[in-house]
């Protein structure tokens, strides 16, 4: 198991290649291959979970091979307490999503090959320790996602306002928006490359460990203004992925037009990459810039805007899937707020929130998919009284909704509460007012979830749906494991928290200790 | 008056000029070929003359013999071409062999 | 004892888990499971209570156990159980009433289509409520606080086919959440300053002056906001009357006896951290609530709504008691109120069960048909009205005494006492009105009357038990003993001498005045009600017409619902729609605009490319082709021309060479 990270990243690629050799007609074979390989991936992820030494600092399972020696680019993989939860989440959701995609009939081979490629890209992002490699994986994800939304999403249509929307529109929007962001990341990456000295060879390097060590920073990186600019560029690149207001409008479109499983991956994993990038790259590499008060407060305020703005927008939606999409924006705001306080509680809470939002929102999207498959629409107002017609489905929806509105006993409560508490108790910045205003989001969230629940499930049954079938076994198979995790981590979050604590506390210490004497320069 | 190098060169130049004149002005392909032969032999005279007066070994004579042989071969080929030309165009006027220009 | 406490907490949870998954397949749909679990919890609570009395000391901690829950490295969040005098006291109240309500529900909910689900929810509620009083830290309180809220949501909306029930559940949850946000903010302040959630550590920190002054007052008021929501205090009281859409036993258990009392319990639990300013705030909120709700109760026609407003009003009394320094009085009233209000609600449930209506206009003369219900209900009524020697008299008297004492020491706040006293009088009036309209006189609806019958044993037994408990003159001694007012100084580690001597005389005289005045107002309230509704000497209709504006104001509950609907609810929705439009038109408009701009620019660019750049390229090609066509003529194909040209060239070269 020396190369476990390579295996876990490239297993889906092997599966994708294998699928290409299967005849188009044997659809179930294609699906089974995908299921088996993602299953293996999940097993590897669990193996990593068992063997990961949570108490140790630094990176583990490292693999380092020269890749493009001319530019000192390495194939460098490794994970720490920040990556492990994300690796677990990715493996878990990918596996679940294969089953959620079982009903896809349109060019099955292409779909699963794309999906597996996407899986590999995501896993690579969370494992890469070379900035160049990280960037490659980051971009590799875009292409399959583009096709998955564009081809297997909803067909193109012209809305009453004259805009052409639908899958292809959303796919292009997603692709261009993300690409736009990654250009800024590329610039920052190159600035790092040319201004960081490899402590051994003295040459340029993409090695993230070297990049994180401030002693290696030379050249223009000594200029605080440059560092601020670089932080801003990186932030822009990552903020689009989170997405942070006002860069979020690709999200509702992409989520709504994508097929169910792709929405799950989008919301469950892809959004986390933005905040993961900030914690993996921006914070440790430019800690002093992060501590610049305009950036720190700006981040907290953007978190606040995300929370409230997302919640308000969600309340106004008529399409259930769009509501869930906006709720994601709201919930990711909590991550931003938790991170910005630079306390161990807030940081751990924020990363827990990343994981918990991944599972919670996955459940929501899967549930939306279930009702859409049956009723062929998602208009909240069109339902009513489903609680008696589909009791098991209703129970699962109520679990997902209550988890979404942060009810104790469900995982997101813990992470939300501690993100707020951490931000409120921040010693580096005074975020008390921002946090208190943010907590109002809790009320609005409760409002729109309960209102939606009432409109869809309570009251008299809409006679149109008197023969709507109950949720089936395959769908239960995708939902129940997530529900179990959501509840288990809600009652006892230690298994997740223990993984990340050491690494995150180190990160907090690094950023807090950052030399801000340069602040006077500008 | 002793015969010197310049005399040979003069004969050679006259021969060359006559040959060139024939090549440029004559319309009959065979005449043109004969002009070419004149040019070649002008060169041969030069070879032999320079070998005699400047360089005293036999390189020039050898080269002259070589040219004579080559010229014979070239004449054989050229005559074959002319024969072909005649078969195709029923004339050996080289002005009519201008199909490359069109 | 800690085993008892853990079992008390786990038994209802276990019952809930089993019920929710397999309840329908169990014999009798598992009602015995939930009920049995609750009775077992009660039996386990008894030894704790006995222990608290037998081994009584002021700060006696009967059992305590702390578990590591969340470890952030620098901060450990523990989760533990704490059983002290207050907990022991609350445990017995909650488990007893909950057991009785479970028992009563077997009869009341018989034949409901979601019978097992009902008991599951009831168990979930009991678990949450017991957790709330057992935990030893503020975070735990918040956790169970929310769980109590959600079980309340589920039970209010239990008959969710009715839109009104679904609405009421949602309203209750969201209104509560508003208070909860305040409470969470309060907890955040405590945690950020003191670095712990644990009650003892928080109080110790405050006693040592780590948090004081305005910030402490703000923290206290924010914490109290949670209580405003949960205990239905002004201005967040609007959810409780609507919550009557739930099954009546639920109203008795949750919306009268236990959950709504959670706010009072919380204030009692955190009593030492409230500064005098915060306590004054609590007292004023309490008195406003008490008076406002009592006046509304006068005119309501729905039997459960009268009781609901009465509950709000009584919770206001408790807050007055706590706010004016009557810690023991407030918590004592919580207990007595829990018993007699549960009794009243269960009694009203029995009536509703009999006549299938909640409107008092459909009732009347039921005394003969339902003797047990009537007599037990009457006991509850007089207890609530404050007639000696029933339990309500003692507790309400204690509150009034506390308010009067406070007023005598701070004359500018004497108004608290006066208004509270007035509310006590109104209480007696509306309760007697309720009894007369329901049980006395001639039946107003003969049809319904003829079908009415006494309720089954499972319903009347709990009524009788609660009636006995409502008599309860025996209570006062124990309570005063058990619920001694905690002293912040005792947390500082050093016991300071308390220079609080002058108050004793005041307290004594206040007690006597309060007792006399409360008897007077209670009897005048009863007298007035009897005059109007029994002897009919005064016509309620006439007076209602004469005081039309006031009547309308009260009938419409001071227009709170309309006001909130117009401002907050519609405001939020309006804001949501506005932002959604903003999002899709402006923000997304910018994105799409950028896309359109890019497309437009690229068109322009394309045109330029075609005409300009490509034109240049093609132009070069054209020139070359043109000149090529001209130069081509040189290539005659005539070998002699070529040679001639070569000759000229050679000559030219030679000529040029010469210069």
Task: Render B77-96 in DSSP notation, one character per residue.
Answer: HHHHHHHHHHHHHS--BGGG
Residue whose token pair is 């955040």: C188
Give dist(CA A248, CA A240) in Å, integer.
7
Same domain, yes or no: A406 and A466: yes
Q: Is the pLDDT of residue C473 over 60?
A: no
Q: Which of C87-101, C279-293, C598-612 has the lowest mean pLDDT?
A: C598-612
In a domain, A302, yes or no: no
Here the tokens at position B94 are 């080289």
Task: Render C396-416 in DSSP notation, one character per residue.
Answer: HHHHHHHHHHHHHHSGGGHHH
If you average pLDDT over residues C26-41, what whole number do you get?
86
Q: Is the pLDDT of residue C494 over 60?
A: no
Q: Answer whether B20 sits within 8 Å of C647, measured CB to CB.
A: yes
Out of A241, A259, A290, pick the residue that ends a domain. A290
What pLDDT, on a 0 to 100 scale, did the predictor assign at position A35?
93
- pLDDT class of C284 with cuts at 50, 70, 90: very high
Chains in touch with B (3+ beta-carbon pairs under 8 Å) read C
Same domain, yes or no: A380 and A236: no
**In 3D, which of A280, A30, A250 has the Cα closest to residue A142?**
A250
- Strands C61-71 and C76-84 come out as antiparallel
Element of type H or E holding A83: helix A83-100
Q: Answer whether B100 sits within 8 Å of C637, measured CB to CB.
A: yes
Out of A223, A256, A290, pick the residue that ends a domain. A290
- pLDDT class of C642 with cuts at 50, 70, 90: confident
Secondary structure of residue C556 in the 3-state scheme: coil
Secondary structure of residue A488 in the 3-state scheme: helix
**Contacts of range A48-57, beta carbons closer than 8 Å, 24 or more positions apart:** A48/A4, A48/A8, A48/A79, A48/A84, A48/A87, A48/A88, A49/A84, A49/A88, A49/A499, A51/A1, A52/A79, A52/A84, A52/A499, A54/A81, A54/A498, A54/A499, A54/A500, A54/A501, A54/A502, A55/A502, A56/A502, A57/A502, A57/A503, A57/A506
Residues in chain C closer than 8 A to B20 (CB atoms): 643, 647
**DSSP class of A249:** T
* Domain ranges (residues) in chain B: 5-96
Q: Does B102 touch chain C (CB under 8 A)?
A: yes
Identify whether the C-beta of residue A231 lies closer than 8 Å to the C-beta of residue A290.
yes
In a domain, A298, yes or no: no
Give the count of beta carbons closer than 10 Å to the beta carbon of residue A456. 23
**DSSP class of C368:** T
| This prediction's pTM | 0.83
Higher pLDDT, A148 or C453: A148
Measured in whole angstroms, how far is the alpha carbon of residue A217 from the centre of its chain? 30
Pseudo-torsion of CA C267, C269, C270, C272, nearest 10°?
Answer: 110
Who among B23, B100, B101 is closest to C643 (CB)? Answer: B23
Residues in chain A closer than 8 A to C189 (CB atoms): 424
What pLDDT, on a 0 to 100 scale, did the predictor assign at position A350?
93
Give the count of beta carbons closer than 10 Å to the beta carbon of residue A52. 20
Q: Answer whether A344 sits within 8 Å of C75, measured CB to CB.
A: yes
**In 3D, which of A47, B96, A234 has the Cα closest to residue C636?**
B96
Q: Is the pLDDT of residue C501 over 60?
A: no
Q: Answer whether A458 sits within 8 Å of C166, measured CB to CB.
A: yes
Same domain, yes or no: A98 and A183: yes
Higher pLDDT, C618 or C266: C266
Give dist(CA B73, CA A347) in Å, integer.
96
Q: Answer whether C174 sits within 8 Å of A315, measured CB to CB.
A: no
Q: Looking at chain B from residue 41 to 100, which residues have their Cβ under 8 Å from any Cβ of chain C?
A: 94-95, 97-100
If you average pLDDT over residues A468-477, what whole number do you get?
88
If you average pLDDT over residues A88-98, what whole number do you get?
94
What angle separates helix A344-375 from helix A320-340, to the nearest 10 degrees? 170
Measured in whole angstroms, how far is the alpha carbon of residue A231 from the centre of its chain? 21
Task: Render A32-61 in DSSP notation, one character per residue.
Answer: HHHHHHHHHHHHHHHHHHHH--TTS-S-EE
Half-sphere exposure (Cβ direction) of C108: Cα atoms closer than 13 Å: 30
Q: Answer whether A421 sits within 8 Å of C191, measured CB to CB.
A: yes
Same domain, yes or no: A224 and A340: no
Higher pLDDT, C439 or B102: C439
Q: Is the pLDDT of residue A522 over 80?
A: no
The CATH number of domain B5-96 is 1.10.287.3510: yes
- Show the domain range for A492: 311-522
Q: Which of A209-223, A403-417, C278-292 has the lowest mean pLDDT?
A: A209-223
Q: Is the peptide bond before A243 cis (omega within 30 degrees of 0)?
A: yes
Specify which residues A130 forms β-bridges with: A207
Q: Does B18 touch chain C (CB under 8 A)?
A: no
Distance from CA of C636 to the nearest CA of B (A): 5
If you average pLDDT over residues A358-370, what whole number do you get?
92
What pLDDT, on a 0 to 100 scale, did the predictor assign at position A187?
92
Q: Is the pLDDT of residue C499 over 50?
A: no
pLDDT in tens, A173-187: 888 888 888 999 999
- pLDDT class of C504 with cuts at 50, 70, 90: low
In a domain, A484, yes or no: yes
Q: Does A414 touch chain C (CB under 8 A)?
A: yes
Q: Which of A76-80, C456-460, C573-577 has the lowest mean pLDDT?
A: C456-460
What pLDDT, on a 0 to 100 scale, did the predictor assign at position A399?
92
Q: Does A318 touch chain C (CB under 8 A)?
A: no
- pLDDT class of C613 with cuts at 50, 70, 90: confident
Give dist(CA C558, CA A373) in Å, integer.
48
Who among B24, B100, B101 is closest to C640 (CB)? Answer: B24
What pLDDT, on a 0 to 100 scale, did the predictor assign at position C298?
85
Measured in whole angstroms, how far is the alpha carbon of residue B92 from the centre of its chain? 19
Element of type H or E holding C354: helix C327-355
What pLDDT, on a 0 to 100 scale, did the predictor assign at position C621?
85
If you average pLDDT over residues B84-97, what whole number do you get?
84
Distance from CA of B31 to the nearest CA of C (A): 13
Secondary structure of residue A3 in the 3-state scheme: coil
What pLDDT, on a 0 to 100 scale, did the predictor assign at position A520?
45
**DSSP class of A377:** -
Q: Which of C11-15, C264-268, C577-581 has the lowest mean pLDDT?
A: C577-581
pLDDT in tens, A307-344: 999 999 888 888 899 999 999 999 999 999 999 988 88
In a domain, A478, yes or no: yes
Same domain, yes or no: A346 and A256: no
Same domain, yes or no: A256 and A402: no
In a domain, A301, yes or no: no
- pLDDT class of C22 with cuts at 50, 70, 90: confident
Number of domains in chain A: 2
**DSSP class of B58:** S
Same domain, yes or no: A210 and A97: yes
Q: Which of A42-56, A114-128, B7-21, C504-518 has the lowest mean pLDDT?
A: C504-518
If you average pLDDT over residues A376-390, what whole number do you get?
85
Q: Is the pLDDT of residue C264 over 60?
A: yes
Identify whether the C-beta of residue B47 lies closer than 8 Å to the C-beta of residue B63.
yes
Element of type H or E holding A77: strand A73-79
Same domain, yes or no: A328 and A251: no
pLDDT in tens, C172-211: 999 999 999 999 999 999 988 888 888 888 888 888 888 8
What pLDDT, on a 0 to 100 scale, did the predictor assign at position A2?
76
What pLDDT, on a 0 to 100 scale, did the predictor assign at position A39?
94
Here the tokens at position A303 are 């978190």
Chains in touch with C (3+ beta-carbon pairs under 8 Å) read A, B
Q: Is the pLDDT of residue C552 over 90?
A: no
Pseudo-torsion of CA C390, C393, C395, C400, nearest 10°?
Answer: 180
Q: Looking at chain C from residue 139 to 158, which residues have their Cβ under 8 Å from any Cβ of chain A?
A: 139, 142-144, 146-147, 150, 153, 157
ipTM of the complex: 0.89
Residue of chain C nearest B28, judged by CA positions = C640
Give dist(CA C183, CA C146) in Å, integer.
11
What pLDDT, on a 0 to 100 scale, did the predictor assign at position C477?
64
Q: Is the pLDDT of residue A64 over 60?
A: yes
Here the tokens at position A513 are 């200790």
Same domain, yes or no: A48 and A170: yes
Give dist(CA C144, CA C162) in Å, integer.
28
Q: Which of A106-120, A364-378, C94-108, C553-567 has the lowest mean pLDDT?
A: C553-567
Sign of the C-alpha dihedral computed for residues C165, C168, C172 and C177 taken in this order: positive
pLDDT in tens, B4-48: 888 999 999 999 999 999 988 888 888 988 999 999 999 999 999
Same domain, yes or no: A345 and A214: no
Q: Give the A:C interface size as CB pairs under 8 Å.
A: 143
Identify whether the C-beta of residue C360 lies closer than 8 Å to the C-beta of residue C443.
no
> What's the Cα-to-Cα distance from A474 to each of A387, A395, A471, C340, C611, rounded to whole Å?
20, 17, 9, 52, 60
Q: Is the pLDDT of residue C637 over 60?
A: yes
Measured in whole angstroms, how far is the alpha carbon of residue C416 from the centre of its chain? 25
Tell me what the pLDDT averaged over chain C comes to.
84
Same domain, yes or no: A130 and A97: yes
Task: Flag whether A touches B (3+ CB pairs, 8 A cutoff).
Answer: no
Residues in chain C closer than 8 A to B19 (CB atoms): none
Residues in contact with A59: Cβ distance below 8 Å, sequence separation at least 6, in sequence order: A78, A79, A80, A129, A209
Residue of chain C nearest A433, judged by CA positions = C185
- pLDDT class of C476 with cuts at 50, 70, 90: low
Identify whether the C-beta of residue C432 lies closer than 8 Å to the C-beta of residue C527.
no
């Amino acid at each position: 198991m020396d190369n476990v990270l390579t295996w876990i990243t490239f297993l889906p690629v092997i599966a994708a290649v294998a699928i290409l050799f299967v005849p188009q007609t044997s659809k179930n074979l294609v699906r089974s291959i995908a299921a088996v390989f993602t299953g293996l991936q999940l097993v590897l992820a669990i193996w990593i979970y068992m063997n990961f030494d949570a108490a140790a600092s630094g990176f583990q399972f490292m693999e380092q091979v020269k890749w493009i020696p001319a530019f000192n680019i390495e194939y460098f993989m490794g994970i720490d307490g920040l990556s492990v939860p994300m690796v677990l989440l990715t493996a878990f959701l990918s596996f679940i999503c294969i089953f959620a995609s079982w009903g896809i009939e349109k060019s099955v081979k292409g779909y699963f090959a794309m999906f597996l490629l996407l899986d590999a890209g995501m896993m690579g992002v969370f494992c890469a320790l070379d900035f160049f490699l990280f960037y490659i994986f980051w971009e590799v994800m875009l292409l399959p996602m583009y096709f998955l939304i564009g081809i297997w999403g909803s067909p193109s249509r012209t809305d009453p306002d004259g805009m052409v929307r639908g899958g292809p529109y959303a796919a292009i929007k997603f692709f261009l928006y993300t690409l736009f962001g990654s250009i800024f990341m590329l610039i920052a990456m190159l600035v790092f490359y040319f201004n960081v000295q490899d402590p051994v060879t003295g040459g340029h390097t993409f090695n993230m460990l070297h990049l994180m060590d401030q002693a290696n920073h030379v050249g223009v990186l000594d200029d605080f203004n440059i560092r601020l600019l670089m932080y801003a560029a990186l932030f822009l690149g990552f903020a689009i992925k989170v997405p942070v207001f006002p860069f979020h409008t690709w999200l509702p479109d992409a989520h709504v037009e994508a097929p169910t499983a792709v929405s799950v991956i989008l919301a469950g994993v892809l959004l986390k990459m933005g905040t993961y990038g900030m914690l993996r790259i921006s914070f440790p590499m430019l800690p002093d810039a992060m501590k610049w008060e305009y950036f720190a407060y700006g981040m907290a305020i953007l978190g606040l805007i995300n929370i409230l703005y997302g919640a308000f927008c969600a309340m106004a939606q008529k399409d259930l899937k769009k509501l869930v999409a906006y709720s994601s924006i709201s919930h990711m705001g909590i991550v931003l707020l938790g991170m910005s306080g630079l306390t161990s509680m807030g940081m751990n809470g924020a990363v827990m929130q990343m994981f918990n939002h991944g599972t919670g929102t996955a459940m929501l999207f899967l549930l939306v998919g279930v009702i859409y498959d049956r009723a062929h629409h998602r208009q909240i107002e069109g339902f009513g009284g489903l609680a008696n017609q589909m009791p098991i489905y209703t129970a699962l929806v109520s679990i997902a909704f209550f988890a979404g509105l942060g009810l104790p006993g469900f995982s997101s409560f813990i992470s939300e509460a501690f993100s707020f508490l951490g931000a409120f108790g921040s010693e580096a910045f005074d975020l008390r007012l921002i946090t208190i205003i943010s907590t109002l989001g809790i009320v609005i969230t409760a409002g729109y979830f309960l209102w939606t629940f009432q409109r869809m499930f309570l009251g008299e049954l809409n006679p149109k749906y008197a023969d709507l079938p109950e949720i089936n076994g395959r769908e239960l198979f995708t939902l129940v494991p997530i529900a179990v995790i959501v509840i288990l981590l809600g009652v006892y979050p230690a298994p997740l928290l223990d993984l990340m604590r050491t690494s995150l506390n180190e990160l907090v210490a690094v950023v807090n200790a950052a030399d801000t004497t340069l602040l006077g320069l500008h | 008056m002793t015969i010197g190098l310049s005399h040979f060169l003069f004969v050679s130049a006259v021969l060359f000029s006559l040959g060139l004149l024939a090549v440029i002005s004559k319309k009959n392909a065979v005449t043109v070929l004969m002009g070419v032969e004149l040019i070649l032999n002008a060169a041969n005279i030069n070879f032999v003359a320079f070998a005699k007066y400047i360089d005293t070994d036999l390189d020039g004579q050898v080269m002259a013999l070589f040219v004579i042989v080559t010229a014979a071969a070239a004449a054989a080929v050229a005559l074959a071409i002319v024969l072909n030309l005649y078969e195709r165009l029923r004339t050996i006027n080289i002005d009519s062999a201008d199909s490359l220009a069109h | 004892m800690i085993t008892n406490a853990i079992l008390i907490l786990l038994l209802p949870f276990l019952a809930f888990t089993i019920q929710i998954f397999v309840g329908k397949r169990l014999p009798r749909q598992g009602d015995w499971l939930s009920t049995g679990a609750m009775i077992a919890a009660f039996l386990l609570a008894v030894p704790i209570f006995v222990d608290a009395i037998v081994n009584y000391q002021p700060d006696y901690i009967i059992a305590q156990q702390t578990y590591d829950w969340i470890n952030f490295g620098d901060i450990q969040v523990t989760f533990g159980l704490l059983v002290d005098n207050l907990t022991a006291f609350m445990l017995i109240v909650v488990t007893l009433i909950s057991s009785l309500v479970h028992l009563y529900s077997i009869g009341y909910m018989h034949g409901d289509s979601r019978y097992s689900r009902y008991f599951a929810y009831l168990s979930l509620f009991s678990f949450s409520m017991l957790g709330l009083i057992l935990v030893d830290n503020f975070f735990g309180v918040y956790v169970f606080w929310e769980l109590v809220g959600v079980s309340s949501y589920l039970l209010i909306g239990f008959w969710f086919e009715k839109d009104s029930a679904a609405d009421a559940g949602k309203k209750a949850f969201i209104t509560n959440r508003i208070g909860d946000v305040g409470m969470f903010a309060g907890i955040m302040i405590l945690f950020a300053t003191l670095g712990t959630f644990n009650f003892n550590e928080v109080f110790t920190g405050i006693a040592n002056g780590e948090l004081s002054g305005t910030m402490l007052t703000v923290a206290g008021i924010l914490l109290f906001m949670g209580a405003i929501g949960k205990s239905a205090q002004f201005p967040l009281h609007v959810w409780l009357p609507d919550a009557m859409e739930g099954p009546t036993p639920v109203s008795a258990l949750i919306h009268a006896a236990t959950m709504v009392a959670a706010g009072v319990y919380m204030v009692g639990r955190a009593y030492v951290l409230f500064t005098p300013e915060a306590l004054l705030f609590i007292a004023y909120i309490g008195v406003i609530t008490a008076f406002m709700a009592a006046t509304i109760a006068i005119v309501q026609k729905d039997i459960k709504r009268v009781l609901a407003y009465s509950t709000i009003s009584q919770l206001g009394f408790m807050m007055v008691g706590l706010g004016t320094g009557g810690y023991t009085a407030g918590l004592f009233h919580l207990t007595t109120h829990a018993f007699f209000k549960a009794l009243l609600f269960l009694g009203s449930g029995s009536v509703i069960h009999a006549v299938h209506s909640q409107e008092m206009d459909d009732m009347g003369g039921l005394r003969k048909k339902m003797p047990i219900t009537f007599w037990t209900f009457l006991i509850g009524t007089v207890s609530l009205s404050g007639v000696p020697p029933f339990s309500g008299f003692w507790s309400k008297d204690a509150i009034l005494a506390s308010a009067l004492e406070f007023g005598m020491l701070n004359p500018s706040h004497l108004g608290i006492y006066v208004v509270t006293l007035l509310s006590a009088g109104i209480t007696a009036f509306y309760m007697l009105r309720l009894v007369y309209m329901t049980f006395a006189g001639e039946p107003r609806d003969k049809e319904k009357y003829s079908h009415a019958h006494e309720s089954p044993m499972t319903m009347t037994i709990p009524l009788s038990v609660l009636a006995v408990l409502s008599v309860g003159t025996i209570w006062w001694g124990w309570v005063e003993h058990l619920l001694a007012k905690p002293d912040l100084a005792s947390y500082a580690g050093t016991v300071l001498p308390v220079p609080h001597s002058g108050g004793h005389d005041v307290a004594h005289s206040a007690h006597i005045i309060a007792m006399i005045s409360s008897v007077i107002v209670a009897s005048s309230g009863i007298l007035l009600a009897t005059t109007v509704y029994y002897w009919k000497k005064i016509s309620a209709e006439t007076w209602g017409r004469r005081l039309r504006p006031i009547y309308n104001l009260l009938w419409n509950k001071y227009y709170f619902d309309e006001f909130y609907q117009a401002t907050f609810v519609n405001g939020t929705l309006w804001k949501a729609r506005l932002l959604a439009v903003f999002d899709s038109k402006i923000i997304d408009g910018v994105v799409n605009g950028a896309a359109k701009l890019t497309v437009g620019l690229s068109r322009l660019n394309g045109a330029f490319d075609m005409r300009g750049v490509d034109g240049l390229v093609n132009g070069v090609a054209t020139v070359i082709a043109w000149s090529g066509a001209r130069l081509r003529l040189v290539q005659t194909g005539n070998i002699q021309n070529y040679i001639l040209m070569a000759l000229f060239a050679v000559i030219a070269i030679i000529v040029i060479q010469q210069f």
